[in-house]
């Protein structure tokens, strides 16, 4: 964040964003949410983790493969060591609301970057509303990463006539925080103090 934006108050920033969002090509939206569990080993434990993600998301999860050899952990390149699932569209918005309840609708200030990405962790998957404890699976922690973008970002990844996206078209850190506050009631905090009842 530059010194200019730091000096601006929250009210001034929110007015700027609201004015900018009148242009339909500048109005941001939640593109996707990625849920990830790093298991470290394959086999039965990995299958349990896949089962957890599929229960939470209602979609098929995929295995993630090791990218390097790590002798100390007995890891070889190309071996399955984790699992992830990507949720897009209106399903991602509904799921994000459920996941945020676990952290009392709070996200750490440092969990945002300058390109519209944000993330938070969940220590126990059974704390997500609608998920019940199963003693055959156990308790799993997971990472949740979301991405807020503007329309037109597809030009970066499409096959034909691919082109660069200018920096001003990415959603900034302040704008992502304001978007989540307005649409999901998120509170941005420096430290998480969770109360377990």
Mean pLDDT of the chain: 87
Assess if residue 191 is contained within a domain: no
CATH code, domain with 50: 3.30.1440.10
pLDDT score of 188: 87
Assess if residue 197 is contained within a domain: no
Q: Are 179 and 171 in contact (CB under 8 A)?
A: yes
Assess if residue 78 is contained within a domain: yes
Assess if residue 2 is contained within a domain: no
Name the 3-class secondary structure at 87.
strand
Residuewise pLDDT in 10s, the chain (197 residues): 454 555 578 788 888 999 999 999 999 999 999 999 988 877 888 899 999 999 999 899 999 888 888 777 777 888 888 899 999 999 999 999 999 999 889 999 999 999 999 999 999 888 888 888 888 888 888 999 999 999 999 999 999 999 999 999 999 999 999 999 999 989 888 887 755 44
Q: Are 119 and 145 in contact (CB under 8 A)?
A: yes
Number of structural domains found in the chain? 1
In degrees and rounded to multiples of 5, residue 160 shows phi and psi of: -100, 140
Assess if residue 194 is contained within a domain: no
What is the reported pTM? Answer: 0.85
Environment class of 146 (CB within 10 Å of its CB; exposed 0-12, middle 13-18, buried 19+): buried
Domain range for 44 is: 9-186
pLDDT score of 197: 43
pLDDT score of 195: 54
- Summarize pLDDT for 111-139 with one digit per residue, the tens: 999 999 999 999 988 888 888 888 888 88
Assess if residue 115 is contained within a domain: yes
pLDDT score of 196: 47
Assess if residue 4 is contained within a domain: no
Assess if residue 44 is contained within a domain: yes
């Amino acid at each position: 964040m530059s010194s200019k934006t730091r000096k601006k108050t929250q009210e001034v920033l929110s007015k700027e964003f609201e004015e900018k969002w009148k242009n339909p090509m500048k109005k941001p939206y939640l593109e996707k949410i990625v849920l990830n569990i790093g298991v470290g080993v394959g086999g039965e434990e990995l299958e349990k983790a896949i089962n957890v993600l599929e229960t939470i998301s209602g979609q098929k999860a995929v295995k993630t493969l090791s990218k390097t050899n790590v002798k100390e952990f007995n890891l070889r390149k190309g071996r399955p060591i984790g699992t992830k699932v990507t949720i897009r569209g209106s399903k991602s918005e509904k799921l994000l609301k459920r996941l945020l309840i676990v952290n009392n609708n709070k996200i750490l200030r440092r969990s945002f970057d300058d390109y519209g990405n944000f993330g938070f962790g969940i220590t126990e998957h059974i704390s997500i509303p609608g998920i019940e404890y199963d003693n055959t699976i156990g308790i799993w922690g997971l990472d949740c990463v979301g991405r807020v973008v503007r329309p037109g970002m597809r030009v970066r990844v499409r096959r034909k006539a691919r082109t660069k996206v200018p920096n001003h078209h990415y959603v900034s850190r302040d704008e992502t925080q304001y978007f989540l506050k307005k649409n999901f009631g998120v509170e941005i905090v420096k430290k998480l103090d969770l109360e377990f009842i």
